[in-house]
Structure 1
Amino acid sequence: MYIFRSIYEIINTISTAKTLLTEMFEKRKTISFRYIDALELLKDDENRLKILIEKEVIHQNGNFLELDVRFLDFFETLLEANEEIDTATIDENIEYLHELMDYYLKEKIQSRKESYVRNIKLTFQKIARVTIRNIMNLQNSIDNTFKHEPTYQIKIAKLKNLDKKRINIQNLIDSTEHLILHEERLFFQQATDEELGRILLELRQELQLSAHSLIRAQQDIINYLNQIKNQVILVEKIRKVKYLQDQFELRARSNLAEVMENEHSVLLEGCTQTSFKLSPEYLASDEARPIILRILSNRKTREHIRKNEAGAFSEEDMKAQAMYEEVVNLEEVVKSFLQSGAEAQWKNEQPKDLFTFLLHYSFQREVNEEECTTLFCQIVSLYEDKLEISDDFGRYKQYEYAKIYPL
């Protein structure tokens, strides 16, 4: 394994291939990156590409390339783009806190005591950050599993495993609270650090919010599992009815006739066609003439439309390349908006409101101001439960809008 000699070497290596690394990171889950595509992004500088492979920033597998797992994890951690739920990290940090607090109580040199306190503060901040990230990933995974997993058995298994991870996160929150309030009382009595007190206060507030979010996640899992159970029961009943119908045993082996006799729903009644005949005397009268002419006119119009119907596709049409308009993925935009709110909270900064965020968001295609207002309205209507609608209003050119922040 290649070992870098300095931070300067790492930064310089990455900066020389920033376009390629950005493209490979964005497409890490969709496609395998081809060697010739990488060369094109590096302006056919094969020497630079070989250096990246030698320094193991990129791995080559035949004609394809992929990012090294160390750099991939590094980018995902900094950009908070990793959807994995990592409870082991919090557990390790809690154990590390016990060790640091024990070292602090046994240390006699004040400067070394201060270094232990500094590491303790950093670890508490890391626990808060990882906990919030885990809960966001948990909620997204629950929603995505229910909406997009096509196989019922896998969907149920994934939801049950996510519920286990929810319980693990709750246990780690309880362990952190117990550490602060009970286990290490002697340390907190001796380490009278003002910044540490502020960090602990913020941490406990975030842990309480996290506990509330876990309650919501538990309710979602229960609701989704119940919906899946009902869907499975319904599908099994439909399959059984279909089997009996195919075997011509439906009436003999079921109570279909009794149910249909007692069922009077409008849906099952069908549409009654009104049937009446006009007398020849009426059709010959002047009163019926305008009606007959209007009917003839309508029939001619329908014939004209039928003649103008498109014919079958030719072989040339079938081979023509289709054109698609790239649609904005609202779910990704909302996810980025919620992440920006979490980042602002960690930095003690005021988060951007939704309309300002959309104006500065990097869409895959060009989005004008009018489309931004449309996206703004769509997000508010579809994701209202994830947003905080304030009483303040903002103005941008001719637009006046309500200021909406991440919940």
Structure 2
Amino acid sequence: MNTFSNIKELLSTLHREEKLLSEMFKRRKTTDYKFEYALELVEDNENKIQYLIDRSVIRQNGNTLEIDDLYLHFFEQVLEANEEINTSYINENLEKVKQNINYYFNEQNEQRKYEYLRIIKNTFRKIGIITLRNVVDLKRNIENTFKTEPNYKNKRSKLINLDNKRRDITKLIEQTEHLITEDDITFFKTATDEELSRIIVQLKLQLQKCTHNLIEIEKQVIAFLNQIQLQSGIVEKLRQIKYLKDQFILESTTDLKQVLAINRHVVFEPNPSYPLKLSLENLQTDEGAFKSIQKIAIRLKSGVKHKQPVADKISDEYLETQIEEEVQINLEEVKNGFVAGSNNLFDFVISYNFSKDVSFEERVTIYCQMVSQYESIFEITDQFSEKGKIEFAMIFPK
């Protein structure tokens, strides 16, 4: 079996074939990823696929391909898409911590002693992260099992197995808390490391969060199991009733009719009908009522055709073309005239000869519009003047 010679070759290979690996990862739940599908993603170059097979990135089984378990597990762990609850990994890390604490006390060389301390800190980080991921995966698996598993017996068995996983995680959390609080308290007092103290505090918070979530998960599992038991009991009763009905002995061997006769639940009551008479005026004028009548007529397959009334002929005078002219004020032309002179803008607009009659209020509005549109080419001073109860800034052309 060929292997990658260095990390650069590995990363470049994964990057080069990221399109194929991404597609195969999306379809990892299926077992029929054909060799032909992969060829389309590598531009019909079989050598690229063979290169991945030779280095055990993907495996070939007949005409189908799948990502190798090592890389699949790596992708799922990094992307947090893993569905497997691995409590043994937490236990292994706990044992690793205990062993390295023992090595730490036995070692006299400070450099090697620090190496053991570094391993302990990294392992504590792993324990917190792995425990959190396991709790999240456990919750997701429980919900998916309850919602998607069609077989009642398998659903119940899977939920019980997941609940056992919950108990295992709870025990491991208790062991971890016991380790950092009681078992090796001498080590934590001896190894006075600031980073280790921060890691322990963070680990305690993570374990506390996991504990709260596990309590909610336990309640959820109990509720799901109760629902399954109730549903399975109802299904068994329905199957028995179906069997008796198929054998035409339902009425003779059971008191079903008597039970239904004395039952007063709302579900067994006939739906009440409340006749409502609509006014003729509403039916004749309301568009929604007309559409409802049409739907009812189609449903009843009525032969009566309902025609909407035809409007009267439009008068010719409404169709005559009428032209309305409106004189528009060209602000650009006003601006050009103002820039060519030396008067202030307000007096210029007030005295400007427009092509139509413009009131004083409209001229004030034109003054404001020009200041807003052509501010960059005007010189706006700090001086103010007043005319007709209107106070305005003295503005001159630049």
| Shorter-chain TM-score above 0.5 | yes
Aligned to 1:352: none
Query: Which of 280, 286, 297 matches 1:302?
Result: 297
In 2, Cα distance between equivalents of 1:190 and 1:56: 46
1:72 corresponding residue in structure 2: 72
Please give the per-residue CA displacement for 1:363-405, whole angstroms capped at 9, x wherever unaligned. xxxxxxxxxxxxxxxxxxxxxxxxxxxxxxxxxxxxxxxxxxx
Per the TM alignment, residue 271 of structure 1 is displaced from its structure 2 partner at its CA by 4.5
Shift of 1:30: 3.1
User: Is there any run of 5+ residues in structure 2 with no aligned partner, and where?
Assistant: 304-398
Structure 1 residues 39 and 250: CA distance shift in structure 2, 3 A: closer
State the alpha-carbon separation in 2 of the partners of residues 13 and 272 from structure 1: 71
TM-score if structure 2 supplies the norm length?
Answer: 0.67
- The residue correspondences of 1:130-149 to structure 2 (distance < 5 A) are 130-149=130-149
Q: How many equivalent pairs are there?
A: 292
Query: TM-score with structure 1 length normalisation?
Result: 0.66
Q: Does the 8 A contact of 2:31 with 2:64 survive in 1?
A: no
- Greater radius of gyration (CA): 2
Gaps of 5+ in 1: 276-286, 309-407
Aligned equivalents of 2:6 and 2:130: distance in 1? 28
The structural deviation recorded for 1:172 is 0.4
User: 1:197/1:262 Cα in 2 relative to 1: closer, same or farther (>3 Å)?
Assistant: same
Q: Sort the Cα spacing of 1:83 and 1:272 in 2 relative to 1 into closer, same or farther, 3 A.
A: closer
Deviation at 1:182, TM superposition (A): 1.2
Distance 1:180 1:306, change over 3 A: same
Q: Give the aligned partner of residue 335 of structure 2.
A: none
Mean Cα displacement is larger for which, 260-269 or 180-189? 260-269
1:5-404 equivalent positions in 2, closer than 5 A:
5-30=5-30, 32-271=32-271, 302-303=297-298, 306=301
- Per-residue deviation, 1:113: 1.1
How far is the alpha carbon of 1:219 from its aligned partner?
0.5
Structure 1 pair 190/273, CA: closer, same or farther in 2 (3 Å)?
closer
Amino acid of the residue matched to residue 53 of structure 1?
I
Distance in 2 between residues matched to 1:94 and 1:37, nearest whole Å: 44
Give the CA deviation at 1:214.
0.6
Could you tell me whether the CA contact under 8 Å between 2:87 and 2:169 is conserved in 1? yes
Native 8 Å contact 2:59 2:65 kept in 1: yes
- Once the two structures are TM-superposed, the CA of residue 27 in structure 1 deviates from its matched residue by 1.5
Aligned AA for 1:152? Y
Aligned-pair CA distance for 1:274: 9.5
CA RMSD of aligned residues (A): 2.9
C-alpha distance in 2 between matches for 1:161 and 1:232 = 19
1:26 and 1:101 map into 2 onto residues whose CA distance is 42
Shift of the alpha carbon at 1:251?
A: 3.7
Residues 103 and 240 (structure 1), Cα distance of their counterparts in 2 relative to 1, 3 Å cut: same
Equivalents in 2 of 1:91, 1:274: separation in Å? Answer: 68
Amino acid in structure 2 at the alignment position of 1:104: Y
Bigger mean CA offset, 254-263 vs 78-87: 254-263
Structure 1 CA distance for aligned equivalents of residues 300 and 29 of structure 2: 48
The CA deviation at 1:298 is 5.1
